Amino acid sequence: MDTRVIGKPVPRKEGREKVTGRARYVDDIALPGMLHGATVRSQLARGRIVGIRYGAGIPWEEFTIVTARDIPGKNCVTLLIEDQPCLADGVIDHPEEPVVLLAHSDAYLVEEARRAVEIVCEPLPAVFTIEDSLTRKEVIWGEDNIFKSFLVEKGDVESAWAQAELIVEGEYETGAQEQLYIEPNGMIAEASPEKGVTVWGSLQCPYYVHKALVPVFGLPKHRVRVVQTETGGGFGGKEEYPSMIAAHAALLAWKSGRPVKIIYDRAEDMVATTKRHPSKTRHRTGVTRDGRLVAMDIDFTIDGGAYETLSPVVLSRGTIHAAGPYSCPNVRIRSRAVATNAPPHGAFRGFGAPQSVFALERQMDRVAEQLGMTPDEFRRRNFIHEGETLAVHQVVREKVDMKRLMDRAFELSGYHEKRERFAKENARSAIKRGMGFASFLHGAGFTGSGEEYLASEVSAEATPDGVVRIHAASTEMGQGTNTIFSQIAAEALGLPCEQIEIVQPDTANVPNSGPTVASRTSMIVGKLVESAALEIEKKLKDSGFLDGKRDPRAFAAACRRYISEIGPLGAFIRYDHPRDLHWDDERYRGDAYGAYAWAVYVAEVSVDTRTAETRVEDFVAVQEVGRVINPVLAAGQIEGGVAQGVGFALFENIVWREGRMVNAQMTNYVMPTSMDVPPIRVFFEEIPYGRGPGGAKGIGELPLDGSAPAVINAVANATGLDIRRIPMTPETLLEMLESARG
């Protein structure tokens, strides 16, 4: 395909502001008369609030103080359902639950005051583990502690066991993971009954925040405005929690009559906001002696924390991805999200899939081992092909070639040669080397009928100078929305990228293009951007002001003429769900995603058996993601995702005590530094996807799925240890090494 700007390494649209320090993040904004807000939180995991004590030595009369009683509308953070309060009222369901809000003009004094408030509680019995929640040691949510459960069935697993010549079982666990965007959460609000509510903040989904604020204040929709400021990373961590902070800042502003800023410090951000759901997965896999999958029985449970929030959706994606890119006639996946008295777990890049994919890819290696077959040969015999059906009964209509991706990844990483060589060398060395890989897929866009319900909207308008402005609620948070949208529109119109402007996401000014999540921005919203751009061109052509020639000056002249002779020149596009994609929500089957990204990742590791230190020495990531719109940005997405996946596998350990994270500091919650990441070598296979803009598919979440299992499979290969739980820190590895030595 001959393109001018798609496929080119166009520099980041807002890059100049970022490299000069001029980009304005929420904490860089100060409004006249602004107060600083703080949140007083519960210490207990579960209990009844019997009193609030305001300690001595604080000039309380100078403070704005907000409790649940001050909320003008409904006390809830509306998301899927309305079970989570903005401020705890009477009962506490998890540690660090917000109870009282304070504001004062002196940021130091407000912090001192926060420490002087005591929430007096009578404790209630609490639940902290998946097991205790499942056995209903205490019922803490609904009737049975279950937020949601799914059953996916293909064929008949029960009667298929008879055909299996070997059955392998396994249980796997993944821990919570902190998103750890470097910019902590923050929000500024102005609010009054006369002017309504406006918030500015670090967030991924302007319309989620809008939807949550409307009922809290009982205002009509048009009196609530949400503006995204430059956002210093999200990774899912700014998908749902910003609604809470926005409501808090706005409640303080509403009561004080002054603008209020709330910025979380790192400790508060880590201890109080969402993390990746911890998970447990049980596999029972039946195969024939020649390595054909006969039956896969998968049981997947995630810990949702104290409120439902997004757990049903995270569970859904984890469930659908649990059987991977393999063709198996009989599959059963049973899954559930359970309640515990921890802060709600939430969105984090991959959204349930990294958990279930870790379990599957470890299980695949273990089945191969028991078959006496290499892990690659076992997978090769079971890879899905075009025309075959996934576990959810989706017929694959893409030209998927997993074998090719695998061969390329093996060649680039020297997989076979090294695996063989390391096996010989390891016998004589305290440092054991190993090769491991994972093969996986990731669906782009909302699941099933999700995109149809979202019905996303994008608009575009042209100025008399021929500048085309794109209006969408899709946010830039580092992943490249501004640049990608510019490239898509510029390509469609034959203009340079500089002639495209991306309007700041502001609910007063942009239509709802849906949340910036689910690897949907390039593929789904990008397509709407392309359509909007083409609609403008069509209007110019239909009016006779623009001929076939693609020339920026002719385009500008045509825009000027159109606007002066006919009127405003714009386009409004709404998502139209492809008619041939069908999803059955009742039976949980059908076309789960319009398209999948397919990948094989290979990790090379070394494990020092004396220090139990694991190093990832090399990493090769090969993927097919449709047409790559911007090779620098796309590779950047993969590299960053791999680093987060390495952290998920080896470093990032959350220590829980009674539902509370006790290592809420960057000092003792360790993410990969520049010394820890391997060379990450990224390669794309490009098969243009007909329904993506310029042929693109989704990309953002993919790298989180396969990185951790590739690394751990390599550690297993190096050490011979059967690792079933991540993070695999040096401490856990040391224990395993010692017990292996007997």
- Binding-site ranges for another protein (CB under 8 A): 9, 11-12, 14-25, 27-28, 108, 112, 179-184, 230-235, 265-266, 477-480, 632-633, 635-636, 639-644, 665-667, 671-675, 677, 679-680
Which tokens is 317 given? 């994606």
DSSP 522: I
Q: Are 41 and 272 in contact (CB under 8 A)?
A: yes
Minimum CB distance to another protein, residue 358 (Å): 19
Minimum CB distance to another protein, residue 510 (Å): 20
Minimum CB distance to another protein, residue 632 (Å): 4
Q: Which is nearer to another protein, 20 or 739 (by Cβ)?
A: 20
Minimum CB distance to another protein, residue 228 (Å): 13
Phi then psi for residue 177, to 5 deg, are: -140, 135
Q: Which is nearer to another protein, 554 or 632 (by Cβ)?
A: 632
Q: Which is nearer to another protein, 394 or 630 (by Cβ)?
A: 630
| C-alpha to C-alpha distance for 498 and 404, rounded to whole angstroms | 38
Minimum CB distance to another protein, residue 20 (Å): 5
Minimum CB distance to another protein, residue 530 (Å): 23
Q: Which is nearer to another protein, 322 or 680 (by Cβ)?
A: 680
Distances in Å between the Cα of 591 and the Cα atoms of 273, 356, 360, 447, 450 are: 33, 19, 21, 8, 11
276-302 burial string, b = 16+ CB within 10 Å, else e? Answer: bbbbbbbbbbbbeeebbbbbbbbbbbb
Q: Which is nearer to another protein, 184 or 436 (by Cβ)?
A: 184
> 3-state class of 50 per DSSP?
strand
| C-alpha to C-alpha distance for 304 and 314, rounded to whole angstroms | 9
Minimum CB distance to another protein, residue 486 (Å): 15
Q: Which is nearer to another protein, 313 or 643 (by Cβ)?
A: 643
In this structure, are strands 595-608 and 431-444 parallel, antiparallel, or unpaired?
antiparallel
Beta bridge partner(s), residue 198: 190, 225
Q: Which is nearer to another protein, 197 or 203 (by Cβ)?
A: 203
| C-alpha to C-alpha distance for 236 and 247, rounded to whole angstroms | 19
Beta bridge partner(s), residue 25: 230
The residue written with tokens 């989180």 in the block is: 704
Minimum CB distance to another protein, residue 669 (Å): 10
Q: Which is nearer to another protein, 18 or 53 (by Cβ)?
A: 18
| C-alpha to C-alpha distance for 463 and 465, rounded to whole angstroms | 5
Q: Which is nearer to another protein, 462 or 710 (by Cβ)?
A: 710
Minimum CB distance to another protein, residue 477 (Å): 6
Minimum CB distance to another protein, residue 233 (Å): 4
The residue written with tokens 């020639």 in the block is: 549
> Quick count: other Cβ atoms within 10 Å of Cβ 53?
10
Q: Which is nearer to another protein, 9 or 123 (by Cβ)?
A: 9
> 3-state class of 8 per DSSP?
coil
Q: Which is nearer to another protein, 31 or 557 (by Cβ)?
A: 31
Q: Are 578 and 445 in contact (CB under 8 A)?
A: no
454-492 burial string, b = 16+ CB within 10 Å, else e? Answer: bebbbbbbbeeebbbebbbbbbbbbbbbbbbbbbbbbbb
| C-alpha to C-alpha distance for 256 and 143, rounded to whole angstroms | 40
* Vertex 197: Cα angle to 196 and 203 (nearest 5): 160
Can you say whether residue 350 is alpha, beta or left, with left for phi > 0 and alpha for psi between -120 and 50 degrees? left
| C-alpha to C-alpha distance for 47 and 122, rounded to whole angstroms | 5
| C-alpha to C-alpha distance for 32 and 63, rounded to whole angstroms | 18
| C-alpha to C-alpha distance for 318 and 334, rounded to whole angstroms | 11
Q: Which is nearer to another protein, 201 or 291 (by Cβ)?
A: 201
Which tokens is 330 given? 């009989």
Q: Which is nearer to another protein, 242 or 641 (by Cβ)?
A: 641
Minimum CB distance to another protein, residue 465 (Å): 22
Q: Which is nearer to another protein, 291 or 641 (by Cβ)?
A: 641
Minimum CB distance to another protein, residue 451 (Å): 26
Minimum CB distance to another protein, residue 103 (Å): 18
* Vertex 696: Cα angle to 693 and 701 (nearest 5): 125
DSSP 25: B
Minimum CB distance to another protein, residue 274 (Å): 15
Q: Which is nearer to another protein, 108 or 742 (by Cβ)?
A: 108
Q: Which is nearer to another protein, 564 or 667 (by Cβ)?
A: 667
Minimum CB distance to another protein, residue 284 (Å): 36
Q: Are 38 and 219 in contact (CB under 8 A)?
A: no
**If we measure between CA atoms, which residue out of 477, 523, 483 comes closest to residue 501?**
483
The residue written with tokens 């329904």 in the block is: 691
Minimum CB distance to another protein, residue 42 (Å): 23
What are the contacts of 105-112 at 24+ separation with CB within 8 A?
Answer: 105/34, 105/35, 105/36, 106/36, 107/36, 109/58, 109/59, 110/36, 110/37, 110/38, 110/63, 111/38, 112/58
Q: Under 8 Å CB-to-CB from 674, ≥6 apart: which residues?
A: none
**DSSP H or E run through 618:** strand 613-624
**Helix residue ranges per DSSP H, 100-151:** 107-116, 130-134
